[in-house]
Copies of this chain bind each other. A is one copy, B any other.
Amino acid sequence: MTTDRELAIFEAAIKLGALYHQWVGTPVSRASAELLEKAIEKSVILQPYVEEISVRLDRSLMTPNVHGYSEVAGLMFHVEIVTRVGFSYCRARLSPKDDYPYMEIVECD
């Protein structure tokens, strides 16, 4: 048996794994980053059990290539998501740690 708290954790992690691999590699620039952040947020919020989602892409890592743009890289993601199942919430995060795009549970109840 699983609890609502565990299901909220499960659902939060699905969304973090999904968005990472859906959007990594997308051409982006500092000028287009904000629109892309909103598009990711609007896409994630459609999915079941998502209460809140914020996506910020680190502009400082958007070093232009020879053609003047970048691609979304794992270390650019600063994402926080809140899922709810029943009366339980889970807040989880994707952000860089030790040069790794680290996903972690922030808090649950």
Is there an interface contact between A10 and B92, defined as CB atoms closer than 8 Å? yes
Copies in the complex: 4
Asked if B38 contacts A43 (CB within 8 A), the reply is no
* C-alpha spacing A35/B55, complex, angstroms: 15
The distance in angstroms between the C-alpha atoms of A42 and B13, with both chains bound, is 21
Known: A17-B14, A42-B35. A48 touches B67 (CB 8 A): yes
User: Could you list which residues of chain A lie within 8 angstroms of chain B, going by C-beta atoms?
Assistant: 2, 5-7, 9-22, 24-29, 32, 35-36, 38-39, 42-44, 46-48, 65-69, 71, 74, 92, 98-100, 103, 105, 108
* Selected A-B contacts with CB under 8 Å, 26 pairs: A2-B108, A6-B108, A10-B92, A10-B103, A11-B13, A13-B14, A18-B18, A18-B20, A19-B21, A20-B25, A22-B25, A22-B26, A24-B71, A25-B74, A27-B43, A27-B44, A28-B43, A28-B46, A29-B46, A32-B42, A35-B39, A36-B42, A46-B69, A47-B67, A65-B99, A66-B99
